[in-house]
Amino acid sequence: MNESGPPLRGTPRTTIADVAAALGLTKGTVSRALNDYPDIAEGTRVRVRGMADRMGYRPLGSAQAIRTGRCRAIGLVLETDEHDAHRPFLNEFLAGLSDAAAAQSWTLTVATAPSGAARATYERLIEERKADGFILPRTRIEDPRVNLLRNAGVPFVLFGRHGTPEGCAWFDIEAGSAMRSAAHLLAERGHRRIAYVGGHPDYTYNQVRQQGFLEGMDDMGLPVPDAYMHDGAITRADGERAAAALLDLAEPPTAIVYAIDNAAMGAYRAAEHRGKRVGRDLAVIAYDGDPNGDFAEPPLASWAVDWGRAGARLAEMLIARVRGTPAEDLRETMPASFLDRGSASVVIPTDPATAGADNPSQLGGDS
- Using CB under 7 A, list all residues that contact DNA: 1-2, 12-13, 15-17, 24-29, 31-32, 34-35, 37, 39-44, 57, 59-60, 63-64, 66-68
Shortest Å distance, C-beta 19 to a second copy: 14
Q: Hey, which bits of 213-262 come out as E strands?
A: 229-230, 255-258
Residue 108 binds: one of a second copy, DNA, none (C-beta under 5 to 8 A by kind) = a second copy
121 alpha carbon, distance to own chain's centre: 20
Which segments within the chain are labelled E, that is strand?
A: 73-79, 107-113, 133-136, 156-159, 169-173, 194-197, 229-230, 255-258, 283-288, 301-304, 331-334, 337-339
- The distance of closest approach from Cβ of residue 59 to a second copy in the complex, given in angstroms and rounded to an integer, is 8
Nearer to a second copy, 61 or 190 (CB): 61
Taking the complex as a whole, how short is the minimal distance between the CB of residue 86 and a second copy, in angstroms?
Answer: 9
CB closer to DNA, 36 vs 226: 36
Instruction: Say if residues 146 and 167 touch (Cβ distance below 8 Å).
Output: no
Rounded CA separation 253/191 (Å): 9
Long-range CB pairs of 43-49 (<8 Å, 24+ gap) are: 47/23, 48/19, 48/23
- CA–CA separation, 137 vs 80, rounded Å? 12
211 binds, options DNA, a second copy, none, Cβ within 5 to 8 A by partner type: none
Within 10 Å of residue 353's Cβ, how many Cβ atoms?
A: 7
Per partner kind, with CB cut-offs from 5 to 8 A, the member of DNA, a second copy, none near residue 27 is DNA
For residues 86 and 140, which CB has a smaller minimum distance to a second copy in the complex? 86
Nearer to DNA, 43 or 153 (CB): 43
Min dist. Cβ of residue 346 to a second copy (A): 22
Which residues, other chains included, contact 341 with Cβ-Cβ below 8 Å and sequence gap of 6+?
A: 293, 294, 298, 299, 300, 301, 302
Q: 167 contacts which partner out of a second copy, DNA, none, CB within 5 to 8 A by kind?
A: none
The three-state DSSP-derived secondary structure of 3-24 is CCCCCCCCCCCCCHHHHHHHHC
Q: Residue 349 binds what, of DNA, a second copy, none (CB under 5 to 8 Å, by partner type)?
A: none
Q: How far is the CB of 206 from DNA (least distance, A)?
A: 42
Least distance (Å) from a second copy to the CB of residue 273?
12
Report the half-sphere exposure of 79 (CA within 13 A, side-chain side): 21
Please report how close the Cβ of residue 112 comes to a second copy at its closest, in angstroms.
4
d(CA 5, CA 352): 82
Residue (24 or 38) nearer to a second copy, CB: 38
Query: Which CB, 11 or 367, lies closer to a second copy?
Result: 11
**DSSP for 110-152, written as a single string:** EEEE-GGGHHHHHHHHHHTT--SEEEE-S-BSS-HHHHHHHHH
Is the CA virtual torsion 217, 222, 223, 227 positive or negative? negative
Select the binding partner of residue 333 from DNA, a second copy, none (C-beta < 5 to 8 A, by kind).
none
By three-state DSSP, how is residue 76 classified?
strand
Residue placing its CB nearer to a second copy in the complex, 310 or 322? 322
Judged by beta carbon distances under 5 to 8 A according to partner kind, the member of DNA, a second copy, none in contact with residue 202 is none
115 binds, among DNA, a second copy, none (CB under 5 to 8 A by kind): none
Shortest separation between residue 177's beta carbon and DNA, angstroms: 43
Binding partner selected for residue 111 from a second copy, DNA, none, CB under the kind-specific 5 to 8 Å limit: a second copy
- Contact assessment for residue 267 and residue 241, using Cβ atoms and an 8 Å cutoff: no
Q: How far apart are CA 232 and CA 239, in angstroms?
A: 9
Q: Minimum Å distance from CB 78 to a second copy?
A: 6
Nearer CB in complex with a second copy: 112/164: 112
Considering beta carbons, is residue 79 or 174 the nearer one to a second copy? Answer: 79
